[in-house]
Amino acid sequence: MMLEVALFGAGRIGKIHAGNLARRNDVKLKYVIDINAAAASELAARYGAGVGDVETAVRDPAIRAVVIASSTDTHAELFLRAAAAGKAIFCEKPVDLSLARARSCAQAVHEAGVPCLIGFQRRYDPTFAAVKARLDAGEIGEPEMLVITSRDPSAPPVGYIKSSGGIFKDMLIHDFDICRWILDDEAASVYAVGSCLTDPAIAAAGDADSAAVTIRTRKDRLCQINATRRAVYGYDQRFEVLGSKGMLQAHNHRPTEVVVATTAGVSQDKPEAFFLERYRFAYANEMAHFLDALVSGTPIRTNIEDGLKALELAEAATQSWREGRPVTFDDRS
Amino acid sequence: MMLEVALFGAGRIGKIHAGNLARRNDVKLKYVIDINAAAASELAARYGAGVGDVETAVRDPAIRAVVIASSTDTHAELFLRAAAAGKAIFCEKPVDLSLARARSCAQAVHEAGVPCLIGFQRRYDPTFAAVKARLDAGEIGEPEMLVITSRDPSAPPVGYIKSSGGIFKDMLIHDFDICRWILDDEAASVYAVGSCLTDPAIAAAGDADSAAVTIRTRKDRLCQINATRRAVYGYDQRFEVLGSKGMLQAHNHRPTEVVVATTAGVSQDKPEAFFLERYRFAYANEMAHFLDALVSGTPIRTNIEDGLKALELAEAATQSWREGRPVTFDDRS
Amino acid sequence: MMLEVALFGAGRIGKIHAGNLARRNDVKLKYVIDINAAAASELAARYGAGVGDVETAVRDPAIRAVVIASSTDTHAELFLRAAAAGKAIFCEKPVDLSLARARSCAQAVHEAGVPCLIGFQRRYDPTFAAVKARLDAGEIGEPEMLVITSRDPSAPPVGYIKSSGGIFKDMLIHDFDICRWILDDEAASVYAVGSCLTDPAIAAAGDADSAAVTIRTRKDRLCQINATRRAVYGYDQRFEVLGSKGMLQAHNHRPTEVVVATTAGVSQDKPEAFFLERYRFAYANEMAHFLDALVSGTPIRTNIEDGLKALELAEAATQSWREGRPVTFDDRS
Amino acid sequence: MMLEVALFGAGRIGKIHAGNLARRNDVKLKYVIDINAAAASELAARYGAGVGDVETAVRDPAIRAVVIASSTDTHAELFLRAAAAGKAIFCEKPVDLSLARARSCAQAVHEAGVPCLIGFQRRYDPTFAAVKARLDAGEIGEPEMLVITSRDPSAPPVGYIKSSGGIFKDMLIHDFDICRWILDDEAASVYAVGSCLTDPAIAAAGDADSAAVTIRTRKDRLCQINATRRAVYGYDQRFEVLGSKGMLQAHNHRPTEVVVATTAGVSQDKPEAFFLERYRFAYANEMAHFLDALVSGTPIRTNIEDGLKALELAEAATQSWREGRPVTFDDRS
């Protein structure tokens, strides 16, 4: 029996998910929905799907799961409708820029009892996942400090930045998730500073392009994140975790393993260009995990709680930056 | 219009090719043929193909191309029948262990005028191909010396070795192709030594498990190959080319980019385990090149001449080893 | 004419300086002074010096320079007496744990007009100095962010920690100097968190063993420092500076360039064991710079101002940690 | 009691040895002898030695050891006179270009019973020595194959090449020593090819600038050496030994551990520029070993036998290259 899926969003990330759905013999991509009709048609045609609309997809009882890869401002509505219809949900991060709306989504998922995966694809990256597995296996003892380097090759258009929720919600949200996941602990306090060093238009839009964050966890573990919108040498995605018995580092992936030695030096490839290249295996593994969990009824690794927690950290970091002081979390959650 | 293909061989390499054929929307795998009926059925079922026999496949006018991935002793016959039937041919290396039969195959291809790709997949490896492209672009000037490291993780069963044609035809044939391809030159002489250092049963079978080859080309360029059947740390596939303006190195690929630092040292992953892992992108690129060439009518990069030349080198190396002297090539070809 | 020098302190760092003084044909180590008479005698004998006392050394008009490598609590007094006597001063960091006393020393140096070098030897490390030179040459454009990793292999005895001034004055003072030097900018604010994760006795002594510091400079550049008293894999001394046109990284030095590949992985040496090994070239270069400056009358690169500024940062970081809030600097200096 | 030494040769290598002698408190450099009187004077003055002549130095009963660092054509005579006078001998490689004369020197050493070190300084390199120690400790089991990369940054003047004895005696003699030392085995056969690819004047002088050598040892181990007079990216000095349980690699040393990432790639330093830089620690360790052996009466690691064996290999390689065939050694020695 085929697992039938509807895909919302036919943009660059929607295409990735469509391709990963198509790798499965037990999955059928039934609908592609996008306000850009041409994009929807083209993607649908490529994988033998139909072009649909939200209403049809959500009402179709054959649809078991939806993949929400449309623009962030549409997530919450699609999410709530899918949950109400009892569909399993694969939703790109962030659930919503508003913590309140994100909490409504979480509430809906809990009430509907539907499986839900939030798209923190980095956890499914082969290198990142190997670090986590080896850490869990005790290879470096207890984790103590985490240093995350998170650098985009270049900033998105300022128009995008204006509606992005800011660098902490738009970009560092992934790093907040890495922090929680790797340290297996919740933030007790967060301190963030931001600067605008690459483009004054970003400052004019009220945002920063460079950020430095410090998180102290409940177990007194320390995490530092350094992030920039512009690293001219490529998409720099590294972290290292220091433990009581050693250190595990996740280094960048490179397109090739060529080294060239000339009078100028000894040089290797820059990191993979951007997230579509670097995380292509992560996206594939993530979708496979989602589908396997649906098929087998096993729990999903990056769920709505993870989505909420990362968003709370992003909101607190934004507040810390704006107010120039550390923000402390209660011990409730 | 779909390009219909028949696949001979449902073993581990046949499975790889079937998967790569299945990635194409413009290709239909019509028949899987294997003397192991269960293997043929299973692979055929997986990709919606039928189980066929040689006669049917070769006679079917809809079949445009055949992929020969069966055991080496069956290559020549399948090759000749496919050529006679006007099919395009994708054939795993070596064409045949006998140079005479390989030449008959070449003759048949020439007479039939069919496209033919010999499976030197390493040329399609991202790292190896990047070295070649950068060399061709003049990045290190004129090539002068080539050092190839070619090490399997462990030896195949002695039963296999006995019918393998020996280490030079079975294993180093790939390296001979690398030598010709990278140096863009033909061998003038070859000198080979072999030793049996890992397993006396290999010596008893009349073969070596360790080999060191030196090739001098017509342009006086020098190539050294070191090879072993057993490198316990993994599949070690490297080469470096020294040029008048620098050096290009092709290093191993690793499963992940994790580095661990402990009291024991600072350690990273071993190389990819074996050829199916290391060359998975190479196999995909190779098949894509074959199919693209069929669709567009453009020339094939690793053709029957390459198959013959590498085999001639393997035969000369075997002779050199047995006779304890360098073997010289004429300047005819 | 020989440049005559008195050395205060015959401990491990005093021995290093004695060895570096002995390399010069134009320098004579005249006195070694230490409250441990045996240590003073042994070191003096090794380099043909005499054993002296403070009074004799400071009064000897032939003595042109003193090297203060005794325990921190003796620095200020020796410093003031040497300045008063018109001697050039090479003083290990910190000048003093008290900012007030350190300022008195600075005042004394200014009044006496004597050359003074504060022992921030890291600036003289070949790798660190090369990063600085290449940054200054514009190789990566304008600096934007700096990430410093500063990890000792193991904590000193708790007895030492108690009188050390705390992790920020004792250990991170070097990193504060690196921050000022690399970014060529002064701190506008500093935020520090500390944890005790390796040994509860350190917490009981009122100190932290793990620290994370964020500095924002006047030019809005950002610096993060992560530090621990215990990295079991060795002395981890790295930093990286992100600029508008690239990134420069200073990696660890290793005892050898051996790589071993086994079934367990591919492993290289751990970093140099500790500061005496890692910074042996730095200490030699530092002393050579001091002596060259004396001989030639050129300015000294790491002077009393640098000593004060780093100490101010250490004091602010300590305050930030204790008060749980960022500490802001005035724009005066 | 001081160990008094005479140094023959005040050129670049003589200066290195003088500096290393001067590091010892128990050694006195008494004479510097060179046909270039100015060079001798300058070097002697620097280290408080006298300028001498051969006769005086050899006859002076206080002289315990001589260091022969003059031009190769003077080695044998100095060697024989020093041996006859009962002096310990430190002699730069090669002992002599003529195997017959080198054998006379060996004979003289044996008869005189004097300690003798031949200057294969690479064995004293920290990285190379660590590989050997770890190999001997069994870390990779039994050695099977050795691959040596031996590349100079640029060729010496053709005038030098003409009297150098050729690339095998002048340059690869070090690699022949590495082969014997690492594999702990003697050559059974050697095959060498040479090409002239960098400068036709070298061919006109009857020499090659590029060489590829294969050695099979008595225990059937295999060694390949690739060498060039010109690697534009620097002095490339690597080897790797494959064993039954793994591989040990000796990589190049670099001036600094800086990495720079720009739009052009991720680049690190070229190897150390040439032998004076790369092997500065090796030269120091070598001299310390010689002097320690004299003081303690313990055996010397690189002795006259090693000098002869490497020269025999160089002569056989030259013959192999000229005659186009492998040269076999008897099992006598």
End-to-end CA distance of chain C: 40
Q: Say if D282 is an interface residue toward chain C (CB within 8 Å).
A: no
Q: How far apart are CA A255 and CA A278, in angstroms?
A: 9
What are residue A189's phi and psi, to 5 degrees? -150, 155
Q: How far apart are CA D27 and CA D4, in angstroms?
A: 6
The answer to whether D144 contacts B216, with C-beta atoms less than 8 Å apart, is: no
| 10-residue stretch averages of pLDDT, chain A, 333 residues long | 94 96 92 97 95 96 97 96 98 95 97 97 98 98 98 96 96 98 98 97 97 98 98 98 98 98 97 97 98 96 97 98 95 50
The answer to whether A266 contacts D270, with C-beta atoms less than 8 Å apart, is: yes
Residues of B within 8 A of A126 (CB-CB) are 255-256
Mean of per-residue pLDDT scores for chain B:
96
Neighbour tally for D1: CB within 10 Å: 6
Q: Say if C197 is an interface residue toward chain A (CB within 8 Å).
A: yes
From B93's Cα to the closest Cα of chain D, the distance in A is 27
Residues of B within 8 A of A262 (CB-CB) are 139-140, 245-247
Q: Say if A261 is an interface residue toward chain D (CB within 8 Å).
A: yes
Q: Say if C232 is an interface residue toward chain B (CB within 8 Å).
A: yes
Nearest in space to A51 (alpha carbons), one of A30, A70, A75, A65: A30
- Give the percent of chain B with pLDDT over 70: 99
Residues of B within 8 A of A255 (CB-CB) are 126, 130
From D259's Cα to the closest Cα of chain A, the distance in A is 9
Q: How far apart are CA D206 and CA C54, in angstroms?
A: 70
Residues of A within 8 A of C223 (CB-CB) are 212
Q: pLDDT class for D273, splitting at 50, 70, 90?
A: very high
The predicted structure's pLDDT at residue C194:
98
The predicted structure's pLDDT at residue D317:
98
Element (H, E) at A92: none
| SS3 state of residue D147 | strand
Nearest chain B residue to D242 by CA: give it. Answer: B231
The predicted structure's pLDDT at residue C331:
54
The predicted structure's pLDDT at residue B321:
98
Tally of residues, chain D: 333
Q: What is the tens place of the pLDDT at every residue in D62-112?
A: 999 999 999 999 999 999 999 999 999 999 999 999 999 999 999 999 999
Residue ranges of C 129-158 with Cβ closer than 8 A to chain D:
130-131, 134, 139-140
The answer to whether A268 contacts D263, with C-beta atoms less than 8 Å apart, is: no
> Per residue, what are the HEC states of chain B?
CCEEEEEECCCHHHHHHHHHHHCCCCEEEEEEECCCHHHHHHHHHHCCCEECCHHHHHHCCCEEEEEECCCHHHHHHHHHHHHHCCCEEEEECCCCCCHHHHHHHHHHHHHHCCCEEEECHHHHCHHHHHHHHHHHCCCCCCEEEEEEEEECCCCCCHHHHHCCCCHHHHCCHHHHHHHHHHHCCCEEEEEEEEECCCCHHHHHCCCCCEEEEEEEECCCCEEEEEEECCCCCCCEEEEEEEECCEEEEECCCCCCCEEEEECCEEEECCCCCCHHHHCHHHHHHHHHHHHHHHHHCCCCCCCHHHHHHHHHHHHHHHHHHHHCCCEECCCCC
Task: Report how far Cα B180 is from the mean position of its chain's Cα atoms.
Answer: 13
Q: What is the tens place of the pLDDT at every residue in A36-61?
A: 999 999 999 999 999 999 999 999 99
Select from C139, C142, C145, C167 the residue whose CB has the most chain A CBs within 10 Å, as the one to mutate to test that interface.
Answer: C145
Per-residue tokens: B104? 């008959």
Residues of D within 8 A of C245 (CB-CB) are 262-263
Query: D130: which residues sit within 8 A by CB, 6+ positions away?
Result: C255, C256, C258, D250
**Mean pLDDT, residues C254-271 taken together:** 98
Residues of C within 8 A of B255 (CB-CB) are none
Residues of D within 8 A of B247 (CB-CB) are 231, 233, 236
From B268's Cα to the closest Cα of chain A, the distance in A is 10
The answer to whether C212 contacts A214, with C-beta atoms less than 8 Å apart, is: yes
Residues of A within 8 A of C147 (CB-CB) are 147, 149, 224, 226
The answer to whether C266 contacts B265, with C-beta atoms less than 8 Å apart, is: no
Q: What is the tens place of the pLDDT at every residue in A112-151?
A: 999 999 999 999 999 999 999 999 999 999 999 999 999 9
Contacting partners of chain C (3+ CB pairs under 8 A): A, B, D
Q: How far apart are CA A42 and CA C86, in angstroms?
A: 84
More confidently predicted of B59 and B25: B59
The answer to whether B245 contacts D232, with C-beta atoms less than 8 Å apart, is: yes
Nearest in space to A149 (alpha carbons), one of C242, C193, D262: C242
The answer to whether A127 contacts B252, with C-beta atoms less than 8 Å apart, is: no
Q: Are strands C246-250 and D258-262 parallel, antiparallel or unpaired?
A: antiparallel
Q: Say if B62 is an interface residue toward chain A (CB within 8 Å).
A: no
From D144's Cα to the closest Cα of chain B, the distance in A is 7
The predicted structure's pLDDT at residue D330:
75
The answer to whether B252 contacts A257, with C-beta atoms less than 8 Å apart, is: yes
From B223's Cα to the closest Cα of chain A, the distance in A is 19
Q: Kindly tell me the number of DSSP H helices and DSSP E strands found in chain C.
A: 13, 15
Percentages of chain A per state (helix, strand, coil), in multiples of 5: 40, 25, 35
Which ranges in D173-273 belong to alpha helices (H)?
173-183, 200-204
The predicted structure's pLDDT at residue A46:
92
Instruction: Dump the DSSP string for C53-102.
Output: -HHHHHH-TTEEEEEE-S-HHHHHHHHHHHHHTT-EEEEPSPS-SSHHHH
- Vertex C153: Cα angle to C148 and C158 (nearest 5): 105
Residue A270 is nearest to which of D236, D265, D268, comparing CB atoms? D265
From B286's Cα to the closest Cα of chain D, the distance in A is 27
Whose structure tokens read 């190999």? D135
The predicted structure's pLDDT at residue D331:
54
The predicted structure's pLDDT at residue A331:
53
The predicted structure's pLDDT at residue D310:
97
The answer to whether B228 contacts D149, with C-beta atoms less than 8 Å apart, is: no
Q: Say if D220 is an interface residue toward chain B (CB within 8 Å).
A: yes
Q: How far apart are CA A258 and CA D233, in angstroms?
A: 16
Q: How far apart are CA C131 and CA D325, in angstroms?
A: 51
**Four-point Cα dihedral B128, B134, B137, B140, nearest 10:** -120
The predicted structure's pLDDT at residue D112:
97
The predicted structure's pLDDT at residue C25:
84
Residue D265 is nearest to which of A231, A263, A268, comparing CB atoms? A268
**Mean pLDDT, residues C68-90 taken together:** 97
- Give the percent of chain D with pLDDT over 90: 97
Quick check: D333 pLDDT over 60?
A: no
Q: Say if C199 is an interface residue toward chain A (CB within 8 Å).
A: no
The predicted structure's pLDDT at residue B333:
47
From D257's Cα to the closest Cα of chain C, the distance in A is 5
Residue D255 is nearest to which of C126, C250, C252, comparing CB atoms? C126
Residue D246 is nearest to which of C134, C249, C262, comparing CB atoms? C262
Nearest in space to C260 (alpha carbons), one of D314, A136, B267: B267
Residues of A within 8 A of D263 (CB-CB) are 232-233, 270
From B111's Cα to the closest Cα of chain A, the distance in A is 39
Residues of B within 8 A of D236 (CB-CB) are 247
Q: pLDDT class for C333, splitting at 50, 70, 90?
A: very low
Which ranges in chain C belong to alpha helices (H)?
12-22, 37-46, 54-59, 72-84, 99-112, 126-136, 158-162, 167-170, 173-183, 200-204, 275-278, 280-296, 304-323
Select from D134, D149, D151, D226 the residue whose CB has the most chain B CBs within 10 Å, as the one to mutate to test that interface.
Answer: D226
The predicted structure's pLDDT at residue B13:
96
Q: Are B207 and B159 in contact (CB under 8 A)?
A: no
Mean of per-residue pLDDT scores for chain A:
96
Q: What is the tens place of the pLDDT at every residue in B140-149?
A: 999 999 999 9
Q: Say if B273 is an interface residue toward chain A (CB within 8 Å).
A: no
Nearest in space to A238 (alpha carbons), one of A278, A198, A189, A194: A278
Q: Is the ipTM of this complex over 0.90?
A: yes
Q: How far apart are CA C190 and CA C170, in angstroms?
A: 17
- Vertex D116: Cα angle to D112 and D121 (nearest 5): 170
Residues of B within 8 A of A245 (CB-CB) are 262-263
Q: Peptide bond before C94: cis, by omega within 30 degrees of 0? A: yes
Mean of per-residue pLDDT scores for chain C:
96
Residues of A within 8 A of D264 (CB-CB) are 267
